Amino acid sequence: MLTAIQPGALALLRCEWPNWSGPFLPPALLATLQARRSVFLGRSLHAQFCWRHELLYVSLRPRQALDRLTPRERDVAQAHAAGHSYREVAEELGMSPVTVRHHLRSAYTKLDVQDKAMLARVLSGPD
């Protein structure tokens, strides 16, 4: 049961689940907790769970472009968007240039971008 919630968090929950009225967490968030996962990614919501003693803290924020990428894709995309070449990214992250190209191709598809400039714009701003 929710004991305290900030107004902005309430708006985020209602954006993801328009018919939700509380006071219990929406079923999808409860299922995430029961599966012992610490992150929920919805259509428009990113939720992170953290236990402190007997209290559960839930951090909510709007979903961002980076949420669509795996951690490794995110690292590669950020380094590439910062201006590094495939070879520089590969050396920096300890992988081959072919692997960098694979991760970038996947990131470009997931973010629906066609070039490095578009990638930099998407990664630097809100979704």
For the chain, what are the domain ranges? 7-62, 66-124
| pLDDT, tens only, 54-99 | 888 899 999 888 888 999 999 999 999 999 999 999 999 999 999 9
Residue of 4 and 86 predicted with greater confidence: 86
97: tokens are: 């240039």
Distance, in Å, from the CA atom of 101 to the CA atom of 52, rounded to the nearest integer, reads 41
pTM, to two decimals: 0.65
Residue 93: partners with Cβ closer than 8 Å, 6 or more residues away: 72, 75, 76, 79, 100
The chain-wide mean pLDDT, for the chain, equals: 90
Domain covering 66-124, topology? Arc Repressor Mutant, subunit A (1.10.10)
21: tokens are: 């009225």
